[in-house]
Structure 1
Amino acid sequence: MAGELGGQGLSDALVILGAAGVVIPAFARIRISPVIGFILVGAAIGPAGLGLLAQAHPWLDPFTIDDRSRIEPFAEIGILMLLFGIGLELSFRRLWGMRRQVFGLGGAQMLATGLLLGAGLASLGGLSPVSALVLGIALAMSSTAIVMPLAGTSSTTGQTALAILLLQDLSLVPILLLLDAKSGTGALLGVAAGGATMIAGLLLVGRFLLPRLFAQAARTKSPELFLAISLLVLMLASVATGAVGLGAVAGALIAGLLIAETDYHAEVEVITAPLRGLALGIFLITVGMRLDLLALAANWPALLAATLAVLLCKALVVFALLRWRRSRTGTALETGLLMASPSELTLIVLASALAAGVIGAGAAAFWTLVTAIGLTLTPLLAAAGRRVARRFDPQALSSGASVATNMTIIFGFGRVGRIVADMLVEHRRPYLAVDGDIDCVAAAREEQRNVLFGDVARGDVVERFGLSQAAAVVLTMDDPVLTVRLTRDIRAACPAISIIARARDGAHAAQLYKAGATDAVPETMEGSLQMSEALLVDIGVAMGPVIASIHEKRSQLRAQIREAGELVEEPMLGRRR
C-alpha cells in the first residue's frame, strides 16, 4: 500500500512539474499570464478532464491526477507561501500606515458587497436570509493568490487591492469561527484572547531571535540555510496561530512581516521566490481541477448568468467606493475589475458552511463552479482593467514611489563604497547601500548608515532594489566578472540610468564601457594620477596648472578606454564567452 501511494505521489509530482515546465515558458512566449495556463492544465488533467478517460485508456494515467485531495495539502502550502510573500513586501510600519484603507475601505467593501449579493440571493435564489448572507460574504472575497501577482504592491491599484485583500484575509478567521462555534460568543472571546497572546509572543520572539538567526546564516553565505530558516519561521508561525484558532494564514502573514522588519528581507524574498511560484502553481492547478466540464456543459446558462452577476456586482461596489473616496476614474475602474472575481477563500467558506448545514450540497456545488470560473477569468479581467484605465485616465497606471526613488544605489560598502556614501551625504543626496557581508552591514547600521544586507550575485537586482526609480547606480565590488554582469543587466533593464563602476585596470574599464557603464573608474589610473599630482605639487609646480593638467590627462585616458571598449568583442577577464 505504501508503495502504491508512493507511486501515485511520484506520478502526481511528475505531472505538476511537467505542467510547470510547459505552462510557464509557453504562456510567457505568447504574453499571457501563466495563471490561466495553470488553471486550464488543472481542468484538463483533473478527474473531470482526462481523468474520466484514464480508466478506459490506461496510457493516459501518467498524465492525469484522478484524486484532487492528494495535492490539496500542497495547494494550502501555496496559499501560505503567498501570504508569506505579501508579508515580506510589507512591514508593520507600512501596515500601520495602511490601517485606514484596510479597515475603512476593506471593511466597507466586504459589508456592502456581502449585503448586496446576499439580498439578491435571498430574493432571486430562494435562500434563507442567513444562508444568503453567508454566501454573499463568501462571494465578496477576492483572490489574494491571483490578484497580487497580477497587480503587485508598487502601483496605486496594487496598494488599493492589497488593503481590501488584507481585510478579507483577516475576516476569514471570525467567519469560520461563527460557522463552527458551538458555544456562542464565548468561543470567539477565547480565540481572540488566545490569538492576541500568541501574536504578541511571536512579535516578541521574532524581534530578538530572527536577526541573530539570519546573521548566522549570512555569515555562512549559504542560501540553503536562509531558505531553511525562512521556511521554519513560516511553519512555526502558521502552526502557532492555527493552534489558537486564528488559522495558519494569519501565521504566514505574521512570519513575513517579522522578517520584513529585519535587514534580510530582500535576500529571503529572492531565495524563496522559486518555491513560492511553484506552490502558487500547484494551488492554481487544484482550482482548475474543480472545473467540472460536464457540469459546465449541462448547466452553462445558469452558471454564466451567476458568474456575470457576481462579477458585475463586485466591480460596481469597488468602483463606487473608490470614486466616493475621490480616487481617479482609471484607478477605480481597474481596481473594480481586478477585484471582481471570487476567491480561494470563498471555497473554504463554502465548505465550512456546508459542514455547518447553513447551505445545501447543491448550492455549494453550484457556487464552487461559479468561483472556479471567476478565478479563471481574473487575469483576463485584470488585462481589461488596465486597458480601460489607460483609456479613461493615462496616469492611473503610474507606479507608486519606491523606497529607492531618487536615491543613489551603492552595491558594495567597503572602503570605496563608504567614501562614495560620505560624499553623497556631504552634498545632501540620499543613498541606499547594499552589501553581502553581514558584519560590514551590522557595523554600518550601528553608525546609522542606510545599508541593507543582500547578495547581488543572486536574483534580479533591478526589481529587488527598485533601480528603475533610482538616480544612479554605483558598483564598487572587487569582483570584475560580477561587475560586468551587473552593468549589462542593469543597462538592459534601465537604459537611461547612470552607472558608475569600479574597474581594476584599463582593460576591465573598457569591458565595462562596452557592457553599458556611464563611467568606469580604473584604480590603477586614478592611483597614477594622484601620485602625479602629489609629485608635481611637491617639486614646486603651481596647484592650478597641476589640477588642470590632471583633469586633461584623465579625459584623454577615459577617451582612449572608451575607444578600446568599442573595439572589444570578447571579455578580457581571462575567459571567453
Structure 2
Amino acid sequence: MESFLLQATLYLFAMVIAVPLASRAGLGSVLGYLIAGILIGPILGLSGSEMTDLQHFAEFGVVMMLFLIGLELEPRALWAMRDKLLGLGGLQVLLTLAAVAAIAMAFGQPPRISIALGMIFSLSSTAIVLQTLNEKRLMQTKGGRSAFAVLLTQDIAVIPMLALMPLLALPGARALAKAKEGADHPVAHFIESLPGWGVTLVTLGAVLFVIVAGHLLIRPMFRFVHAARLREINTAMALMIVVGIASLMYLVGLSPALGTFLAGVVLADSEFKHELESDIEPFKGLLMGLFFITVGAGINFNTVLAAPVEIAGLVIGLVALKALILAGLARLFNVRGKDRSLFTLGLAQAGEFGFVLVAFAVSQRILPGVLAERVLVVIALSMLITPLMFILHDLLGKLRRDEGGPSPDEIDEQGPIIIAGVGRFGQVVNRLVTMSGFRTTVLDADLKTIQLMRTFGFKGYFGDPTRPDLLAAAGLAKARVLVVALDDRGATTRLVAYARRMRPDLHIIARARDRIHVFELYRAGANDIVREMFDSSLRAGRYVLENVGLSEFEAAELEKIFFKLDRAAVRDLAQVWKPGVPVEQNPDYISRTKELNAELETAMMERFSRREDSEADEPAKTKG
C-alpha cells in the first residue's frame, strides 16, 4: 500500500509540475506529460515493475475519450462521414501498410514479418492527435475532421488486423501461442473454440447488444439512478457504462475503444448526454495524462543508445513516409492550405495501438524479441515528437499566407435556419433559437469567434457567409429562414440580394446598422429588418418614462405606439429615398420626414392626453 501511494504521489507531482510548464511554453499538455514520463522513467529511474499494469489501466483514458467523442456525433453525422471513413481512411491504412511492408522486404525481412510491421506502422496515435486537436480547437476544421475520420478508420482496422495476424505465424508457433492464450484467458479460449460462424455471431451479437442496450436499457437505468439525486451514483453509472462495454468488447475480441465509441454515438441524442460528459471528463483527463506519462517512461533509451543513428533513421524515415502518403491523399481528397499541413503533420506518427499489435505479434511468435524492442522504441519516439509536429504546423501557418486565407470548414449538418454572422448580435439570436429546440447552421468568417463558440458548446462553421458555395453547402436551397447578422453593411446587403435571387420564397431577417441601411436592405429583398440599436434604445426610453411618473403599462404602451409608427415611417421613407444621394440633398425625403415626425408626435401626445383625462375623471367617479 505504501509503495502504491508513493508511486501515485510521484506521478501526480510530475503532472502538476511538467504540464503547466509545457503549456506556458506553448508546447501543449501532451508534450508535458511525455516529458514527465521520461523524467520518471529513463532519466531518474523511478518507475518500476508497476509500469506494465499502469499502461493497461491508463489505456482506459483512450476508451473514455472515444466514448466522449461518440457522444458528440449523432448517427446521421457518422453516416455523412462514410466517404472519408472508407475512402480517405481506408486508403491511408492500405497504402501505408503496403509501403512499409515493401520497404521491410527490400531490407531483407521475411514477408510475414514485413506485413506485420506494415500493420503496426499504418496506425497513428488517436490519443495524442485528438487531445491536441481539442486543445487547439482544430477538431471542426476540415483538416481536423479529416484526421478524425482516418483515426476512426484505423481503430476499426485494428479488429481485422488482430484477426489476420495469427495467419502470419508459423504453424508450430501458432499452436504454442494458441495453447498459452487458452490457458491464460478461458473466455477467449471458449470463443476461439467455436466454429467460424459462431465467432461471427458472438461478435455481431455483442455489437447489437450495445446498440439495443443504449436505446432500451441504459436510458431507463439512468432515469432510475437520477431519481436518487446523488452525484456520486450518477458518476458510478457513467463509469459502469464505459467499463462494462469495454469489458464486453474485450471478451469477444473487439476493440474496447471502438465499442465505447459506438455506445457514445447511440447515446448522442439522449437527454443524459451532457451529464455523461461532465461525469466522465475528469476521469478521461487524468487517465489520458497517465497514459502519456507511461509512454514517456516506457522508452528504452538503452536501445536508442546502442544504435542511435539507426533508430533516428527509422523514426525519421517512418514519419517522412507517412507524411508523403498523407500529403498525397490530402491532395486527392481536396484538403488544402493549412488543413493539408495539419492533416499531414498530425498523423505522421505511429500509434498506441501499435503497442498492442507488437505484444500480440510477439505472443504469436511473429516478431523476434530484439526486433520487437526496436519497433516499440520507434513507436514511442514518433509519438514523442508529435507535439513538435503540431508546433511546426503552427509556425508554418504564421510564416505562410495561403491564397484566400484559411480553408473554410466542411459543413456536415444542415439546419432549417441559417445564421450568417455570429458576433454580439447573431450569438443572441442563435442562443434563443437553439435553446428553443430548433437547429441552426451558423457561419462566420472570424475563426476566433467560431473557436470561442465551440469552447462554450455551440456548433459553428468557419467560412465567408457571402460565398455561394458555402451557402449552398449550408443548405440555402432547403432553408426556411436566413438571418443575416454580419458586421459589414455592404456584405450584408450583397448577401440579402443574392439569397433573394436564389430563393424568392425564403424568409430573410437582416441586421441593419442605421436607417439608410434599412432602405438598402428593403430594396435588396429582406423581409424583416432589425436596426441593431433600435430595440435597446426603445427599452432605455421606456425605463426613462417609468421613472418620470408613468406606470409600467403606460410606458410599455407608448413604446409600442412609437415602434409601430416609426416602423411604418421607415417603410414610407424607403419609397422616396434615392440610392447614392445624401438625405440632406433629397428635398422629398426631408419634407416627408418632417411630416412623419409631426404625425408621430401628434399620435404620442393624443395617447398621453387620454391618460391625463382618465386621471382627471377618476376623482369625480369616486366622489359620485
Q: TM-score, normalised by structure 1?
A: 0.69
User: Which of residues 139, 153, 173 in structure 1 aligns to 2:121?
Assistant: 139
Counterpart of 2:51 in structure 1: which amino acid? Answer: R
User: Which of residues 116, 127, 145 in structure 1 aligns to 2:99?
Assistant: 116
Q: What count of residue pairs does the alignment treat as equivalent?
A: 455
Partner Cα distance (2:434, 2:341) in 1: 38
User: Which of residues 40, 45, 59 in structure 2 aligns to 1:45?
Assistant: 40
Q: How much does 1:37 deviate? A: 1.4
Partner Cα distance (2:281, 2:411) in 1: 23
Partner of 1:26: 21
Q: How much does 1:350 deviate? A: 0.8
Q: Helix, strand or coil: the match of 1:71?
A: helix
**Residue 532 in 1 paired to residue 532 in 2?**
no
Structure 1 residues 109, 45: CA separation in 2 closer, same or farther (over 3 Å shift)?
Answer: same
Q: Gapped runs of 5+ residues in structure 1?
A: 1-5, 55-63, 410-420, 435-443, 452-459, 471-494, 497-517, 553-577
Structure 1 residues 188, 77: CA separation in 2 closer, same or farther (over 3 Å shift)?
Answer: farther
Structure 1 residues 100, 10: CA separation in 2 closer, same or farther (over 3 Å shift)?
Answer: same
The one-character-per-residue Cα deviations of 1:500-544 (angstroms, maximum 9, x if unpaired) are xxxxxxxxxxxxxxxxxx96979x95995641147879xxxx999
**Residue 155 in 1 paired to residue 141 in 2?**
yes
Partner Cα distance (1:91, 1:82) in 2: 16
Counterpart of 2:402 in structure 1: which amino acid? Answer: D
**Residue 70 in 1 paired to residue 65 in 2?**
no
Counterpart of 1:239 in structure 2: which amino acid? Answer: S
Partner of 2:524: none
Partner of 2:215: 207
Partner of 1:465: 457
Partner Cα distance (2:17, 2:162) in 1: 37
Partner of 2:376: 368
User: Which of residues 320, 323, 347 in structure 1 aligns to 2:328?
Assistant: 320
Give the conservation status (yes or no) of the 8 Å contact 2:142–2:339. yes
Q: How much does 1:23 deviate? A: 2.4
Counterpart of 2:97 in structure 1: which amino acid? Answer: G
Counterpart of 2:55 in structure 1: which amino acid? Answer: E
Partner of 2:516: none
Give the conservation status (yes or no) of the 8 Å contact 1:130–1:358. yes
Partner of 1:414: none
User: Which of residues 406, 410, 413 in structure 1 aligns to 2:419?
Assistant: 406
Structure 1 residues 360, 264: CA separation in 2 closer, same or farther (over 3 Å shift)?
Answer: same
Partner Cα distance (2:334, 2:461) in 1: 27
Q: Helix, strand or coil: the match of 1:326?
A: coil
Partner of 1:106: 89
Q: How much does 1:32 deviate? A: 1.3
Give the conservation status (yes or no) of the 8 Å contact 1:389–1:396. no
Give the conservation status (yes or no) of the 8 Å contact 1:143–1:341. yes
The one-character-per-residue Cα deviations of 1:104-135 (angstroms, maximum 9, x if unpaired) are 111111111111011111111x2101110111
Structure 1 residues 267, 406: CA separation in 2 closer, same or farther (over 3 Å shift)?
Answer: farther
Q: How much does 1:402 deviate? A: 9.0
Give the conservation status (yes or no) of the 8 Å contact 1:341–1:374. yes
Partner of 2:238: 230
1:5-404 alignment runs, 5 A limit: 6-46=1-41, 48-51=42-45, 64-65=47-48, 67-124=50-107, 126-152=108-134, 153-180=139-166, 189-215=197-223, 223-388=231-396, 391=400, 393=402, 395-396=405-406, 398-399=408-409
Counterpart of 1:118 in structure 2: which amino acid? Answer: A
Counterpart of 1:356 in structure 2: which amino acid? Answer: Q
Counterpart of 1:143 in structure 2: which amino acid? Answer: S
Give the conservation status (yes or no) of the 8 Å contact 2:37–2:295. yes
Give the conservation status (yes or no) of the 8 Å contact 2:58–2:291. yes
Give the conservation status (yes or no) of the 8 Å contact 2:89–2:150. yes
Q: Helix, strand or coil: the match of 1:406?
A: strand
Structure 1 residues 210, 397: CA separation in 2 closer, same or farther (over 3 Å shift)?
Answer: farther
Give the conservation status (yes or no) of the 8 Å contact 1:408–1:430. no
Partner Cα distance (1:388, 1:450) in 2: 36
Partner Cα distance (2:248, 2:319) in 1: 36
Counterpart of 1:304 in structure 2: which amino acid? Answer: A
Q: How much does 1:281 deviate? A: 0.6
